[in-house]
Amino acid sequence: MPQKFPHFKLGDIANVRAGIPSREIDRPSEDGVIPSKMVGPIALTGTFLSKIEGEDVALPGPVVTRHGLKEGDILTSSRGVFRASLLEKEPEQLTGGFQLVAGPLCHVVRIDAEKADPAYVAWVLSTPSVQAKMMSSAGGTAVRLFSRDALAEIDLPLPPLEMQRKLARVARDAQALVVARREEARLELAITTRELSEILGLNA
């Protein structure tokens, strides 16, 4: 039987903002630029990100300061297919030493850690229930658009913090298992392909 927990809107427990505006990406600066990585929806490959690929950009220092990401931030896609991913480490560790900013096609959710656990919230945002809510609220015709306001209005159950952390650990372990099994399947396919190719003489 489902347990009853208090519900809060995402905007009540987090700062929800848009990614860097396109006009700021190419803005000239007299203060010099900082080599950075800009992440888009295609990089949101799982709920818990331990590494990330981003586009190389050179941004003015004030822009990086204003839009820079940090450990615990949640990135969501603002169009297409709704996804949510947590930065599990500081950006420099995820990118090989670069600052990280969210591109124009992403939203950034920064959780108030005294109110909720970021990993738990990232997991809830990745559930089919929330994805369906975002899809139903989406605008656009050919391409679905997910507004920052609609994201902030998402209703979340909030159990006690310790329970949130336990649920997030279970979800993280499950994702790790899926990734490991996917890698095993990929290696098995490669081995099978090589063996069958040898039988047919395709490797000669």
Task: Identify the CATH number of the domain in which residue 122 sits.
Answer: 3.90.220.20
Residue 18 sits in which domain range? 7-159
The pLDDT, as a whole number, for residue 29 is 62
The pLDDT, as a whole number, for residue 1 is 57
Asked whether residue 169 is assigned to any structural domain, the reply reads: no
Asked whether residue 105 is assigned to any structural domain, the reply reads: yes
The pLDDT, as a whole number, for residue 180 is 66
Asked whether residue 146 is assigned to any structural domain, the reply reads: yes
Question: Which residues are bridge partners to 36 per DSSP?
Answer: 57, 99
Asked whether residue 62 is assigned to any structural domain, the reply reads: yes
Residues of the chain with pLDDT under 70: 1, 26-31, 179-180, 196, 199-204
> Angle at CA 78, nearest 5°, toward 77 and 82?
50
The pLDDT, as a whole number, for residue 158 is 93
The crossing angle, in degrees rounded to 10, of helices 161-200 and 118-125 is 60
The pLDDT, as a whole number, for residue 8 is 94
Asked whether residue 114 is assigned to any structural domain, the reply reads: yes
Count up the domains in the chain and report the number.
1
Asked whether residue 189 is assigned to any structural domain, the reply reads: no
Asked whether residue 186 is assigned to any structural domain, the reply reads: no
Max Cα–Cα distance, the chain, nearest Å: 65
Asked whether residue 64 is assigned to any structural domain, the reply reads: yes
The pLDDT, as a whole number, for residue 32 is 72
Indicate the pTM of the whole model. Answer: 0.83
> Can you give the length of the chain in residues?
204
